[in-house]
């Protein structure tokens, strides 16, 4: 049974006359009569009673009309929903982002998108990098703000360069220094992001290059919390420099030229982006890059 058959039943149920129902559908009367006969034969039941006044659903017809209305309504709703999703200026974009972007880059980026496309809807997913990549692969997220550039079939639009700094508690023996080497804090307790996070991979590479094995005292997956723990005197930490100071911590520049994190917008480049996601990327590309201190 085709969707047009169901619409034919609904027209008969509304108009109670083959001629009027056929006119509403834009088909001939014989065509609609054959449709009704075919549907009744397929369902194995007489659905309408015919008399001089027209056609009228019997109890079985009432059941068939209820089911037909539900199916047609669901199909029409599906078409409307898909049309909304596919509209580049009013569709829906599924964006994942790193926890550390929640109060810095994400609000600024969304502000720019809202100004350029005020009707574009954005579904946000705040999650760590090791969750973002599978979400992109499965299609749960279409775009993501992450670091570093994921290996594999992923496009990459760099948006922000974040300089890393060593933060120490107020009164720390190194607090008066302008810059430090990682070897200067080789014997310190460190507060760090746990293994598995993209930022932890960056830190491990920095320590390995410096020949330092850090003594990890605490691990937590939130950079703002790390800053708070350092401010409480529970260790030192490497964080993007804009995270320093909220709890009185002191930021010290690192002598390593690779002490930076690049945050970018990424997406699967082995399949096309939906129109709304492509529009989002276009707006962000035109607005960026974004100053880490902004």
pLDDT in tens, 35-63: 889 888 988 999 999 888 889 999 998 99
pLDDT for 103 equals: 75
- The enclosing H or E element of 63 equals helix 59-86
- Residue ranges in the chain assigned as alpha helix (H): 3-15, 18-25, 29-43, 59-86, 105-116, 129-138, 198-210, 223-231, 275-287
Architecture of the domain defined by 160-261: 3-Layer(aba) Sandwich (3.40)
Output phi, psi for 145, to 5 deg: -100, 115
Pick from 164, 76, 87: which is nearest to 119 by CA?
Answer: 87
Beta bridge partners of 164: 240
- Give residue-wise pLDDT tens across range 75-85: 887 876 676 66
Distance between CA 237 and CA 207 in Å, rounded? 12
In the chain, the N- to C-terminal Cα span, in Å, equals 60
Q: Are 243 and 199 in contact (CB under 8 A)?
A: no
Question: What is the pLDDT averaged over residues 150-170?
Answer: 94
Which backbone phi and psi does 177 adopt, to 5 degrees?
A: -80, 155
Residues of the chain with CATH 3.40.190.10: 93-156+268-287, 160-261
| pLDDT surpassing 70 at residue 1 | no
pLDDT, tens only, 71-114: 988 888 787 667 666 677 878 889 999 888 877 789 999 999 99
**What is the model's pLDDT at position 72?**
87
Q: How many CB atoms lie within 10 A of CB 65?
A: 19
- Which pLDDT tens digit goes with each residue over 22-33? 898 888 989 988
All CATH 1.10.10.10 domain ranges in the chain, comma separated: 3-86
Fold observed for domain 93-156+268-287: D-Maltodextrin-Binding Protein; domain 2 (3.40.190)
Q: Which residues contact 42 (CB under 8 A, 6 or more apart)?
A: 1
The answer to whether 39 touches 5, Cβ cutoff 8 Å, is yes
Between CA 123 and CA 140 the distance in angstroms is 10
Can you say whether the dihedral through the CA atoms of 208, 210, 212, 218 is positive or negative?
negative
Sign of torsion, CA 96 99 101 104?
A: positive
The DSSP secondary-structure symbol of 16 reads S
pLDDT attached to residue 121: 87
In the predicted model, what is the mean pLDDT of residues 251-258?
89
CB 217 within 8 A of CB 247: no
- Whether 270 contacts 153, CB under 8 Å: yes
Domain 3-86 has CATH 1.10.287.110: no
Residue 289 has pLDDT above 70, yes or no: yes
Contact 248, 170 (CB under 8 A): yes
C-alpha angle 217-105-168 in degrees, rounded to nearest 5: 30
How far apart (Å, rounded) are the C-alpha atoms in residues 104 and 242? 9
Q: Dump pLDDT digits (tens) for 218-228.
A: 999 888 899 99
């Amino acid at each position: 049974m085709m969707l047009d058959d169901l619409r034919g039943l609904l027209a008969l149920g509304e108009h109670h006359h083959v001629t009027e129902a056929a006119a509403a559908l834009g088909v001939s009367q014989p065509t609609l009569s054959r449709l009704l006969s075919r549907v009744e034969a397929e369902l194995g039941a007489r659905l309408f009673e015919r008399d001089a006044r027209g056609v009228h659903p019997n109890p079985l017809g009432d059941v068939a009309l209820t089911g037909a209305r539900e199916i047609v309504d669901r199909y029409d709703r599906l078409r409307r929903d898909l049309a909304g999703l596919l509209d580049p200026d009013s569709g829906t974009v599924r964006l994942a982002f790193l926890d550390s972007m929640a109060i810095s880059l994400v609000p600024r980026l969304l502000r720019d998108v809202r100004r350029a496309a005020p009707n574009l809807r954005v579904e946000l997913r705040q999650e760590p990098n090791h969750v973002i990549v599978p979400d992109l692969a499965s299609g749960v997220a279409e775009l993501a703000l992450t670091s570093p550039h994921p290996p594999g079939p992923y496009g990459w639009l760099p948006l922000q360069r974040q300089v890393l700094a060593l933060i120490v508690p107020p009164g720390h023996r190194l607090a008066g220094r302008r810059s430090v080497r990682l070897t200067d804090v080789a014997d310190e307790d460190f507060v760090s992001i746990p293994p598995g996070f993209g930022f932890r991979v960056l830190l491990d590479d920095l320590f390995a290059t410096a020949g330092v094995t850090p003594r990890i005292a605490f691990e937590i997956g939130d950079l703002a919390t790390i800053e708070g723990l350092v401010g409480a005197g529970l260790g030192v930490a490497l964080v993007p420099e804009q995270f320093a100071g909220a709890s009185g911590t002191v930021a010290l520049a690192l002598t390593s030229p690779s002490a930076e994190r690049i945050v970018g917008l990424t997406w699967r480049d082995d399949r096309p982006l939906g129109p709304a996601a492509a529009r989002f990327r276009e707006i962000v590309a035109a607005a960026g890059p974004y100053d880490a201190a902004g």
